[in-house]
Every structure is written in structure tokens, then in C-alpha cells.
Structure 1
Amino acid sequence: MVDPLRRDVLLHRGIFVAVALVLIFLRLLPMGSEAGRLPGPDLLMCLILAWVQRRPDYLPALLIVAVVLFEDLLLMRPPGLWTAMMLLGTEVLRSRLALTRELSFLVEWLFISALMLAMFLGYRMGFAMTFLPQVGFGYALAQVVASILFYPLVVWLSHVTLGVHKPGMGEVDEMGRRL
């Protein structure tokens, strides 16, 4: 028999993989590719950061690496560069979890925004150091700004539909174990 806590973690990991595959599939569809349009947000990045901020046990580092590397390969990005940025960003969040657990949402949003900008700049610097052709700075920055603006919506949808919430200090599960 499977432990209820373990079952919940495995269930949410499966849900994450399914949602990530749907988001990657939607990015591959040829929708809205007219010249001059603003880019949409990176919803997978928002989802990963929101879940790691709320329940880091749902997303181990290897699962994040596997999903983002799969996305890199399908979107024909340099394999591993964005994966490394996402891994660094999520590990920064994990290391600050005790400090950010009781912050208000506005402060959390500002922290996540700074983290998204740092990841964006690191990604651009990786391209610049290897002399790879890049998308225009303003266009790429518009995607980061769109991602920052969509982050609260992703957090709200994760909370309402999937029950992914930030555990409070001393909160325990059904079995009496600390979260």
C-alpha cells in the first residue's frame, strides 16, 4: 500500500509532467506567428517557479532538468543552456525557502521577477559568450515581462485547480508530518 503523502507527491509530479507536455505542445503549434506581434509568456517557467516556491518536494531537480531539456530539444534551443538557467533559478528558490515562506505575495512576486530577469540575463550572456545569433533584446525582454505579469495567474490557477499552496509554518499533513 502506498503512503498517502507519497501518493500525493507522485500524483502532483505526474500532473506537472502532463501540464508541461501540454504547454510544450502549445508552444510548438504555429499560432500567432505574424511579424511584429509581442511574444507570449513562458508559462512553463512560471509554473516551475510557482511550484518550487510553494511545494519544492513536488519538483525534484532531476524532473525539472528532464522536462526543460526536453523543451530545449523540441524548441531547437542550445541544449542545456536554458536548462542550466532553470536549475540554477530553482535551486536559488529552494535555498531561500525558509526565508520566503512567510513573505507576502507582493514581495514574493518581486523576488520571482528579479529571479526571472537574472535568468534571462544569464541566458543572453551565454549566447553572447558563444557568439550565437540572438533574438532582439527588446523582443526577448518583452517575453520576460509577459512572464512576470502572468506569474500571479499561474499561481492562482495552481492553487485553485491543483491545490498547490505554500504551507504555513508548523503545518502538517493528514498523517501529522511537517510540510
Structure 2
Amino acid sequence: MSEPSLYRTGFYALLYILASSISLFFHLLPLTSTPGSWAAPDVILCLTYVLVLRRPKLAPIGLVAIVFLVFDLFLMRPPGLMAAYVVIGAEFLRSRTRVNSELPFLVEWALAAGVIFAVLFGYRLTLLLVALDVPRLGLDLQYLIGTVVLYPMFALIVERFIPFGKIGRSGDSTGQKP
């Protein structure tokens, strides 16, 4: 890996950490004193899966695991549970990157939606099996639908503003034509 590429990758990793920190800040910001009746979409989960599918080098698995472990700790979820499911989902998507690069966007979106559903289902099932409090199903459905609906917006942002090519689209892993 060349020096400019290494610096660029590090820069985007710092941007990912900054976006995660901002998202965590808004999750922790007390806007009301009563529990909310709606669930916000998971912006960082959506961004992570877009990066894993479109720019896999910018979302190393260690960074993803650390970010979601920090989220688990700050949001008072069982430590590492959601992080483990997100990492498993990210690695599944990463393994499909080369195949997915030739498929239409709707298939990519459906694949990401299926993985987000599986992550949420596995998380809820684990909470049920160990007899912990499970959020209401309506809130989880709002969370799921909101996150899936945000996916195209993040895909467009990543495609337009991050100048790396999609792996497997044309030639080498940088997306440059030979």
C-alpha cells in the first residue's frame, strides 16, 4: 500500500470515528424527560454496511468492532452483543463484495436490508433467551424500517464523496481502469 493511500485510508477511518462520535452524542443527548415513542434509525449501522459493501478497505473489522462496543457500553446494552452481530453481518457483506459489485443497486439494498433484519432479529432473540428486557416490537420495526430507508441516501453520499472505486467494478481494488 502506498503512502498517500495509507494516509487517505487513515483519514477516512478518522472521519468514520468522528461520524460515530457525533451519532453517539445525539443518542445520549437528553431531548425530553420521558421515554420516546419512536425509534430513530441507526445511522452508524447503515454507514458501516454501506462502507463494507462499497469501500471495504475503509471499514476494517477491528474499527467496526470497537465503535459498536463503545456504542454498547454508552447506550447500556449488553456489552458486545450488538457489536458481535454487527461484526458478523459486516463480515458476511464483505465476503459478498466482489459478487455484489456486478449486481443492481436494488439487490445490494435488499441484501443490506436482510442483514440488518438478521442483526436485529438475532439481537432480540438473544435478549429473549437470556430473559433480558426486550424493546417493544413496534420500536424495533421503526428502527429497522428507518435504517433500511436511509441506506440509499448513505450509498449515494459514499459514492459521490469518497473517491475510491467499488471493488470489483473495474480492474483493481482502487477501481481505476487498467
The two structures have a TM-score, normalised by structure 1, of: 0.89
Q: Distance between the aligned counterparts of 1:32 and 1:177, measured in 2? A: 52
Instruction: Say whether residues 1:22 and 2:22 are aligned partners.
Output: yes
Q: Distance between the aligned counterparts of 2:120 and 2:174, measured in 1? A: 36
Q: Distance between the aligned counterparts of 2:5 and 2:108, measured in 1? A: 26
Structure 1 partner of 2:82: 82
Q: Distance between the aligned counterparts of 1:133 and 1:11, measured in 2? A: 39
1:1-150 to structure 2, matched below 5 A, reads 3-31=3-31, 37-150=37-150
Q: Distance between the aligned counterparts of 1:111 and 1:64, measured in 2? A: 19
Q: Distance between the aligned counterparts of 2:174 and 2:144, measured in 1? A: 35
- CA offset digits 1:18-53 (Å, max 9, x no partner): 111111111111236765632111001000000010
Cα RMSD after superposing both structures: 2.2
Q: Distance between the aligned counterparts of 2:158 and 2:173, measured in 1? A: 20
3-state SS, counterpart of residue 79 of structure 1:
coil
Kept after mapping to 1: 8 A contact 2:38/2:139? yes
Which ranges in structure 1 are unaligned for 5 or more consecutive residues? Answer: none
Please state how far the C-alpha of 1:163 moved relative to its aligned partner: 3.8
Kept after mapping to 2: 8 A contact 1:51/1:164? no
Identity %: 30
- CA offset digits 1:64-84 (Å, max 9, x no partner): 111100011010110000000
Aligned residues: 176
Q: Distance between the aligned counterparts of 2:162 and 2:107, measured in 1? A: 23
